[in-house]
Amino acid sequence: MIWWLLVLHLLGIGVAVLGGRRGIRTGLIAAAVAPAITTVWALTQIIDGDTEATARLMWVDALDIGFEFRIDDVALLMTLLVSGIGTLVFINATGYFSADADGGTRFPATLLAFSMSMLGLVWADSIWTLFIFWEATSVTSFLLVGHKNTYADARNSARRALVITGAGGLVLLAGLLILAEQAGTSTISEMGAVSGAAATTAAVLVMIGAATKSAQFPFHVWLPGAMAAPTPVSAYLHSATMVKAGVLLVAVLSPVFVDVGAWKWTGVAFGIASMLWGAIGALRQTDAKLILAWGTVSQLGLLITLFSLGSAKAIFAGTSLLLAHAVFKAPLFLVVGEVDVRTGTRDITKLDGLNRSMPIAFGVAVVAGLSMAGVPPLLGFPAKEAAIEAALGLSGTERAVALPTIVGGAVLTVAYTTRFLIGTFGPGLEGRTEVAPRRVSMTVATVTLGALSVLGYVFAPAATALVRAAAIESNEKAEVYELIRWPGLKTAFVISVIVVVLGAILGWFLSQRSIRVPDTVGANAADEMVDGVLSWAPRITAAIQHGSLPVYLATMGFAMVVAAIPFVFAIETDHLVAWDNPAQLALAVLTVAAALAGAFVGSRLGATLTLGAVGVCVSGLFVIHGAPDLALTQLVVETVIVVGFVVGLGALTTRFPETRDSWRTVRLVLSVLGGAGVTMALAASASDPSGTPPIEALTDGAKDIGGGKNIVNVILTDLRALDTLGEVVVLATVTAGILALARVVREEQQVSEGAVATRTGYALISTPSPTVRTAIRIASPFAIVLAAYLFFAGHNNPGGGFAAGLVLGSTVILRTVAGLPRRVKPRKAVTIGTLTVAFVALVPILFGDPFLDMWIGSIDVPMLGTIKSGSALVFDLGVTAIVVGLITASIEGLSTITDQVMADARKARDGATT
């Protein structure tokens, strides 16, 4: 059933949007259907007495994450309030809004979405579900408070409400997570009582979350501002339902936190402060709606106090007041809405004689108001009696704190109620108020709600059953209490009488004098905080996200240095040797010297040459280490890179630009530290060798699986061919990128000056010398043979597809240098290579073998004998083709770009001389 009701609400939201197109009133009526059905369902559940319903839809079972709902008696009572009052509010709103009001598609659907979120929150049985719907009510409330989105006031208030309740939601989430950890489950109904330091933290965090939602001092500042919402919204969200979410949370979790002292005292502190400050606030307002809003803060304070105290009597009193408050506060708000609509003002100093001109509204207000003041024969009376009884039933400190404040709060409540009634409906300070005609829909809702206060008193046993069932969920001992219509001359009753008399006198006295409305200090402070955050955020962003690449890199570098610090302590020097071979030391020193020279030499060409030197020295280090494949590849790579630098950068100004000295110092420090950090981490890695390298397994695997002797090559083309596949994809992508960049430049050239005849880029490296040209012409076939040798030998000896491709690519470069025709089309080479590699990778799948499974056979190659290999060789061929394509594309692309750079420079020079 839970799912059906939720789906019904979702459908209702859609229908409300559609209906809203025909006017806001149609939309509201369409939206009222879902709450009405839910109310009827809740009533039948209560009458049946078979109340518990559950629903689960798990998402991540192992983590207990999913939607979990459980409707117990508390939830059922809240459902009745949410949907029942909701239905009446929708009906009332059709009268509140004029037929041609804006927001027809927006307002009813949002209000229904809120109603649904509230139901989800009430029904939630896991912390995740609870939190999701908790936040959903914050968001929908934000939209509803900001309904009049063309008013700055409404927007500010909505923002304030969202920031406070949203922040509270985060605090709540933290608290719930700790709680779930402590309780060992995220399902609320399965949680046992928790205790300990972590539980105390959780209790305080959850209580703060509840306090923000239930507008407890000092978080109450958003509630008066939320009165910028249309009055039906205020009646619904800000008195009867949403603000009760915090109270409900305290009620539901009070058995869990029963052993945590901080839970009780945090709650009582919030509650008492709000009860008194809210009531004082209500006495200082002249806007009828704000009087009620501040009164709500006070009432919620009383509720939080009672539920935090947690004794059976207090829980029973709290639950009774929860019901009574919803039933009297909603009609009071709706009456104020009617006054506003029919007179155009809510200012009690301007309203005059409404007791005669709006008799029905006056009647409802008196009934609901007296219920709020706790006067019989109305539901508020037994509820307030229960509260005073509960306070009397306490002992020690609890009694000393709770009794006077609850009684004092009650006096103030009677006072602001009296002032509200006299101010709104009694004689005003300025002449008689004009009143527009009554609207039936508004009256229907207010009268129905008003009547409930009477019915609740008359049928007190029924109300008792409802309240008692709910209260038992929080404290089992609550089952002995009941709502008593006429207690007789008991202590609580005597106190009640005194409270009403004192309060009425105070209220009457205050209503006879004009009061200066205080500044909204708290709200302003909250706004300034939000404004401050908003104005500092871009400044902080601008400072951190400054956009300077060198500074970003330096920041990362320093972070790396910090991360390397622990490694210093993990180094064991007995694993270190000075060198493996004296030549190694010489080469290492040469490498570093060449690198340093490259960094500090001023000319670009010089830097390029030192780069080549570094590459050669590193190759030497590989030879000494026993890595001929690396050495071979490194050598050829270095050659191509140097050529690339000359072609690509040759056209740039020959000297590097100067940099600022201060920044240079930072860079120098970072360089030394960064180098040291990496070295330390590396040294530490050798200090604790965990196990030995699986060299034997790799050797055997190379022979048995790959059928080759060169283990590195077999790893690349067979055992770990997926790495290689990824790598050649990178190379193919890079080729495409270079070709694309060159194409853009070429198209710009053609647009600006037609086809460019000069080939200055090639001129940088090509030579007019006929000797060299002839030498290269003779050498190129040999180079091709060498490449073929490396390719086939690679499976058993140093070499392989990369080396072959690099040699072939170098041949292409050589022929370019000589000005000889180039036969390789880079795009074609890369395409063929990629297709070949993909083919070898995919074909095994057709035969039911794994992706990239290699097939082995024997091939006879002249001069090399029989080679035991197979599809790995074809795979390597694809790699070769891609490498050749990349090198050719680079030479072509870089020279095209360089052509353009030089043409630009020439144009600038010509421009300067003419």
Partner 1 sequence: MSAALLFAVFGLTGVGIYLITSRSLSRIILGFVLLGHAAVIALVTAGGPPGEAPIAGRSDDPIANPLPQALALTAIVISFGLTLFMLALAGRQQTLSGSDLVEDDLEDRRLAARAEREAALEELREAALAEEEES
Q: Which of residues 549-578 bind partner 1 (CB under 8 A)?
A: 549-550, 553-554, 557, 575-578
Select from 11-19, 93-101, 229-237, 682-690 the region that touches partner 1 (CB under 8 A). 682-690
723 contributes a contact to partner 1 by CB under 8 A: yes
Cβ neighbourhood burial of 692 (10 Å; 0-12, 13-18, 19+)? exposed
Options 436, 676, 835, 842; binder of partner 1; rule CB under 8 A: 676
808: which 2 tokens? 């072939």
Q: Which of residues 786-815 bind partner 1 (CB under 8 A)?
A: 796-798, 802
C-beta contacts of 574-583 below 8 A and 24+ residues apart: 575/686, 575/687, 575/689, 576/683, 576/686, 580/624, 580/625, 581/624, 583/620, 583/624
3 contributes a contact to partner 1 by CB under 8 A: no
Find, among 649, 568, 637, 636, the residue nearest to 608 by Cα.
Answer: 649
Cβ atoms of residues 910 and 889 within 8 Å: no
Q: Which of residues 608-667 bind partner 1 (CB under 8 A)?
A: 611, 614-615, 618, 621-622, 624-630, 633-634, 637, 640-641, 644-645, 648-649, 651-653, 656-657, 659, 667
Instruction: Please state, as a whole number, how many other Cβ atoms lie within 10 Å of the Cβ of residue 505.
Output: 14
Residue 691 beta carbon to partner 1: minimum distance, rounded to whole angstroms: 11
Dihedral (Cα; 531, 536, 537, 541), 10-degree rounding: 170
Dihedral (Cα; 698, 699, 700, 704), 10-degree rounding: 90
826 contributes a contact to partner 1 by CB under 8 A: no
Q: Which of residues 516-555 bind partner 1 (CB under 8 A)?
A: 535, 538-539, 541-542, 545-550, 553-554
Q: What is the DSSP letter of 466?
A: H
Residue 163 beta carbon to partner 1: minimum distance, rounded to whole angstroms: 19
CA distances from 233 to 111, 165, 228, 359, 444 (A): 8, 17, 10, 24, 17
Options 249, 370, 411, 715; binder of partner 1; rule CB under 8 A: 715
CA distances from 899 to 647, 757, 846 (A): 10, 10, 48
**CB nearer to partner 1: pick between 326 and 824:** 824
Residue 671 beta carbon to partner 1: minimum distance, rounded to whole angstroms: 4
DSSP 495-517: HHHHHHHHHHHHHHHHHTS--PP
678 contributes a contact to partner 1 by CB under 8 A: yes
Residue 907 beta carbon to partner 1: minimum distance, rounded to whole angstroms: 11
Residue 820 beta carbon to partner 1: minimum distance, rounded to whole angstroms: 22
675 contributes a contact to partner 1 by CB under 8 A: yes
**CB nearer to partner 1: pick between 630 and 820:** 630
Options 40, 198, 682, 775; binder of partner 1; rule CB under 8 A: 682
**CB nearer to partner 1: pick between 433 and 610:** 610
856 contributes a contact to partner 1 by CB under 8 A: no
Cβ atoms of residues 717 and 875 within 8 Å: yes
**CB nearer to partner 1: pick between 460 and 814:** 814
Rg (the chain; Cα; Å): 41
**CB nearer to partner 1: pick between 145 and 883:** 883
Q: Cα 367 to chain center, whole Å?
A: 47
Options 261, 518, 694, 857; binder of partner 1; rule CB under 8 A: 694
H or E segment at 109? helix 107-123
Q: Cα 448 to chain center, whole Å?
A: 43
838 contributes a contact to partner 1 by CB under 8 A: no
**CB nearer to partner 1: pick between 290 and 841:** 841
218 contributes a contact to partner 1 by CB under 8 A: no
**CB nearer to partner 1: pick between 513 and 539:** 539
Residue 591 beta carbon to partner 1: minimum distance, rounded to whole angstroms: 5
Q: Please state the φ and ψ torsions of residue 352, each to the nearest 5 degrees.
A: -150, 130
What span, in angstroms and rounded, lies between the C-alpha atoms of 52 and 839?
62
Residue 69 beta carbon to partner 1: minimum distance, rounded to whole angstroms: 44
686 contributes a contact to partner 1 by CB under 8 A: yes
711 contributes a contact to partner 1 by CB under 8 A: yes
Terminal CA-CA length for the chain: 88
Options 58, 501, 744, 859; binder of partner 1; rule CB under 8 A: 744
Residue 869 beta carbon to partner 1: minimum distance, rounded to whole angstroms: 14
Residue 634 beta carbon to partner 1: minimum distance, rounded to whole angstroms: 6
270: which 2 tokens? 């919030």
703 contributes a contact to partner 1 by CB under 8 A: yes
Residue 601 beta carbon to partner 1: minimum distance, rounded to whole angstroms: 10
In our burial notation (b when 16+ CB lie closer than 10 A, e otherwise), range 765-780 reads bbeeeeeebeebeeeb
CA distances from 622 to 618, 629, 634, 810, 853 (A): 6, 9, 9, 21, 31
Select from 157-165, 199-207, 479-487, 586-594 the region that touches partner 1 (CB under 8 A). 586-594
Residue 617 beta carbon to partner 1: minimum distance, rounded to whole angstroms: 8
Options 699, 769, 774, 858; binder of partner 1; rule CB under 8 A: 699
**CB nearer to partner 1: pick between 240 and 881:** 881
851 contributes a contact to partner 1 by CB under 8 A: no
Cβ neighbourhood burial of 911 (10 Å; 0-12, 13-18, 19+)? exposed
Residue 570 beta carbon to partner 1: minimum distance, rounded to whole angstroms: 13
Number of residues that bind partner 1 (CB under 8 A): 119
Select from 87-95, 228-236, 417-425, 706-714 the region that touches partner 1 (CB under 8 A). 706-714
What span, in angstroms and rounded, lies between the C-alpha atoms of 354 and 363?
11
What residues pair up with 287 in beta bridges, in sequence order? 347
DSSP 49-69: ----EEEEEEEEGGGTEEEEE
702 contributes a contact to partner 1 by CB under 8 A: yes
H or E segment at 861? strand 856-861
Residue 867 beta carbon to partner 1: minimum distance, rounded to whole angstroms: 14
Residue 574 beta carbon to partner 1: minimum distance, rounded to whole angstroms: 11
**CB nearer to partner 1: pick between 400 and 553:** 553
Residue 762 beta carbon to partner 1: minimum distance, rounded to whole angstroms: 14
Cβ atoms of residues 5 and 82 within 8 Å: no
What span, in angstroms and rounded, lies between the C-alpha atoms of 158 and 900?
58
900 contributes a contact to partner 1 by CB under 8 A: yes
148 contributes a contact to partner 1 by CB under 8 A: no
Q: Which of residues 588-607 bind partner 1 (CB under 8 A)?
A: 588-589, 591-592, 595-596, 598-599, 604, 607
Options 695, 755, 778, 846; binder of partner 1; rule CB under 8 A: 695
Specify the residue for token string 């007789």: 488
